[in-house]
């Protein structure tokens, strides 16, 4: 396996300066985070931690917590961005959750990543950390039979510090609004389908990470400009060090070597998927709220596209859609890999 091409020293110094700037920025932004329930004293040295920013996700939280507890996450660290749906009260009553509240601007915090980088720096160093949104559900090879600890122990033994997962948009058959989603329900009882192909992949020369686009959001909402579609590449699982920083969402990190989650010599490294449960019956309401707030990337370009596409009854299903079965199915389609993790 080849590594990232070594950069000239001036570029390495520039990347280092950028990383130091991100860390310093996160430290400054910590002042807007107000602890509501700080149980971080319970965190043990080998605990796997989850870091999440959320706003008005009360209906999703029970299944989200169940999924990651079942995988083996021992403690959750949430930032609540001024929710008014009861989700903050729900989170503060969970015994394995620490939660901070802020009403500061999501956009001004680099779409929440300043807050998450601070919490990772303060509480994540030395731990395997899962950084996800409340509608992202990590799966990986053997996830039905092996806990997350088995994967992280194997990654430790292999000398790997990061693990990639493609964001796989899941959707129902028929109009998105037709099947009501209820609190505590498995979202994939409804959003059971995905696109098995129609993805593009290229390498980001600046940071060395892969850049993946395509799938149902691109064909339904960005057909006029596929390159404007959302990125599907994520690095959500990292053995954190306080000198690390996410650059843009969980798409890429610094140091640059953390983005080498693939093999350029024809082999495969183990990788997972984040099943993305965005397209449930609450989607249009959420899209309208976020469009009104205008707190997302590129002046909420993505949510403006959703709003335009939702004028009729949005139906993402097509004859090529596949019903999700298990991780082996995704491996056969080339969307997930066990690599040499037998």
Distance CA 301, CA 315 (A): 20
Residue 199: strand, helix, or coil: strand
Strands (E), the chain: 34-37, 49-54, 75-81, 97-102, 128-131, 136-139, 162-169, 193-194, 199-203, 210-214, 233-239, 245-248, 252-254, 272-276, 322-323
Contact call for residues 15 and 245 (beta carbons, < 8 A): no
Residue 317: which of 137, 180, 181, 192 has the closest Cα?
Answer: 192
Would you state the structure tokens that stand for residue 169, as one six-digit string? 């948009």
Distance CA 159, CA 140 (A): 18
For the chain, what is the total number of helices (H) and then of strands (E)? 9, 15
Measured in degrees and rounded to the nearest 5, phi and psi for residue 235 equal: -125, 80
Torsion of the alpha carbons at 287, 30, 232 and 252, rounded to the nearest 10:
160
Contact call for residues 292 and 304 (beta carbons, < 8 A): no
pLDDT, tens only, 93-143: 999 999 999 999 999 999 999 999 999 999 999 999 999 999 999 999 999
Sign, CA dihedral 142-218-195-295, equals: positive
First to last CA, the chain: 18
Distance CA 160, CA 142 (A): 18
pLDDT, tens only, 261-287: 998 776 789 999 999 999 998 887 776
Residue 31: strand, helix, or coil: helix
Residue 314: which of 274, 287, 276, 275 has the closest Cα?
Answer: 287
Looking at residues 302-326, what average pLDDT do you find?
Answer: 79
State residue 292's pLDDT score: 65
pLDDT for residue 296 is more than 60:
no
State residue 238's pLDDT score: 98
Distance CA 5, CA 79 (A): 36
Residue 271: strand, helix, or coil: strand
pLDDT for residue 303 is more than 50:
yes
State residue 2's pLDDT score: 47
> Domains in the chain, please, with CATH?
9-332 (3.90.550)
Contact call for residues 238 and 161 (beta carbons, < 8 A): yes
pLDDT for residue 295 is more than 70:
no
Mean pLDDT, the chain, whole residue set: 92
Looking at residues 212-234, what average pLDDT do you find?
Answer: 92
**Planar angle of CA 241, 25, 120, nearest 5 degrees:** 30
Residues comprising the chain, all counted? 342
């Amino acid at each position: 396996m080849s590594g990232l091409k070594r950069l000239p020293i001036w570029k390495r110094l520039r990347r280092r300066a950028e990383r130091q700037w991100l860390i310093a920025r996160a430290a400054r932004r910590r002042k807007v985070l107000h602890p509501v329930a700080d149980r971080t004293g319970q965190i043990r040295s080998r605990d796997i931690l989850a870091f999440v920013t959320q706003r008005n996700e009360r209906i999703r939280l029970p299944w989200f917590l169940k999924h990651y507890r079942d995988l083996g996450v021992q403690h959750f660290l949430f930032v609540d961005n001024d929710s008014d749906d009861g989700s903050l009260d729900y989170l503060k009553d969970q015994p394995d959750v620490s939660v901070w509240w802020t009403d500061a601007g999501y956009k001004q915090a680099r779409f929440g990543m300043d807050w998450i980088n601070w919490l990772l720096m303060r509480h994540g160093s030395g731990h395997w950390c899962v950084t996800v949104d409340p509608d992202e559900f990590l799966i990986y090879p053997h996830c039905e039979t092996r806990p997350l600890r088995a994967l992280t122990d194997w990654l430790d033994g292999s000398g790997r510090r990061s693990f990639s997962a493609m964001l796989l948009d899941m959707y129902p058959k028929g109009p998105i609004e037709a099947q009501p989603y209820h609190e505590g329900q498995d979202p994939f009882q409804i959003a059971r389908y995905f696109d098995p192909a129609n993805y593009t992949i290229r390498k980001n020369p600046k940071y060395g990470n892969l850049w993946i686009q395509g799938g149902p959001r691109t064909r339904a909402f960005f057909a006029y400009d596929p390159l404007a579609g959302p990125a599907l590449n994520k690095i959500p699982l990292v053995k954190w060090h306080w000198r690390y920083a996410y650059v843009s969402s969980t798409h890429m990190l610094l140091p640059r070597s953390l983005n080498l989650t693939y093999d350029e010599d024809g082999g495969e490294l183990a990788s997972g998927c984040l099943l993305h449960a965005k397209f449930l019956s609450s989607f249009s309401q959420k899209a309208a709220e976020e469009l009104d707030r205008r707190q997302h990337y590129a002046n909420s370009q993505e949510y403006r596209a959703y709003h335009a596409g939702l004028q009729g009854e949005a139906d993402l299903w097509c004859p090529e859609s596949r019903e999700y079965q298990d991780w082996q199915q995704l491996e056969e389609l080339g969307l997930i890999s066990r690599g040499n993790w037998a």
